Structure 1
Amino acid sequence: MSNACAIPCPYCGKDVDIVQAMEMVAGNEWTELLGGLPISLVGALLRYLELFKPTKQELRWSRRLALTKELVPQIKAAQVKRNGIVYSAPAAMWEAEMMKLVVNRPESLVLPLKSNGYLLSMIAGRGERAAAKLEQDKIEQQRNRSNVGGAPVSVAELAATAQKKAKSKPPANWKGGIAPDTS
């Protein structure tokens, strides 16, 4: 009996459903795509991809492949591009954020996920915070360089100086209130 949606298996020669064959090819391509990634990152990716698993069925290899194809080039480049901005994102950050989603999944997160958008926004957010900290450190360094007179430049230093001035003692010969003007 011949099935119109079947092709011969390249290994055993038996007829295989074409959809199954396409899934097998996608699985092989997915496996090749992971080459060069640290094994711990591959483990995190596998667990992360389970967030896309539809209820009562397995995640198709073609779906895994599509999701992974979006991520792997960014992971290997150690960066993420979000809304036209490129942020530094080393492999350890990718792994940490994937595991954060898996282990400490926010209650607001609706499963199964539809895209990598949530993960990408988390990593971009981390990149934005890191960039903001670098910018703040740079501003602080510039303040400190321009402060040749030694005056306090940070809010903490200003507060400490004001506190010292407020706690100063009156001169030893001070007798209290101001004498009335008798002229």
Structure 2
Amino acid sequence: MYYRATYPSPVGVITLACDGSNLVGLWIEGQKYHGNTILEDMIENNDLPILDTAKKWLDRYFAGEQPNISELPLAPVGSEFRQGIWHILCEIPYGKVITYGDIAKKMAAKMKKESMSSQAVGGAVGHNPISIIIPCHRVVGSNGSLTGYAGGVHTKVKLLELEGADMSRLFIPTKGTAL
């Protein structure tokens, strides 16, 4: 059984989802793939400790603090490959960015492969079910393009600016899937 609650944030209304003890989802209203990893109905419940803990984590995050991902029990639903990519995302430091290619190299090494497709990585990053907390907004194109964020490129910019990321070499593409 899954439960949900909403959280008003500076980037829009957020839906939080849990299995009762672990956070399984965090989606920004209007986000691509919103709730797609939860295949059954989610029951509204604002009285679960995990959802309260997640809301407090978000309060601190949006206040400019740097809450640690490890403070929350996360259980995103996805394949072993996606889980591996999401684990790498959790290692990206606050306020820093990494490229899809860099993640592909790390994942290839983990899987003892010579190389890996950046597009495969992009698919896993884009389907991250716990946005913001598993920081997929910190992934950029190799040329500095702010592309590929399911919550929208302008939300990605807001989150990176909130974190104080160096935006000097980053740019919004004029066309692409993130717009």
TM-score range, shorter chain: under 0.3
**Which one has a larger percent helix, Structure 1 or Structure 2?**
1
Larger Rg: 1
Larger RCO of the pair (alpha carbons < 8 Å, separation 6+): 2
**Which one has a larger percent strand, Structure 1 or Structure 2?**
2
Task: Give the TM-score, by structure 2 length.
Answer: 0.19
Task: Give the TM-score, by structure 1 length.
Answer: 0.19
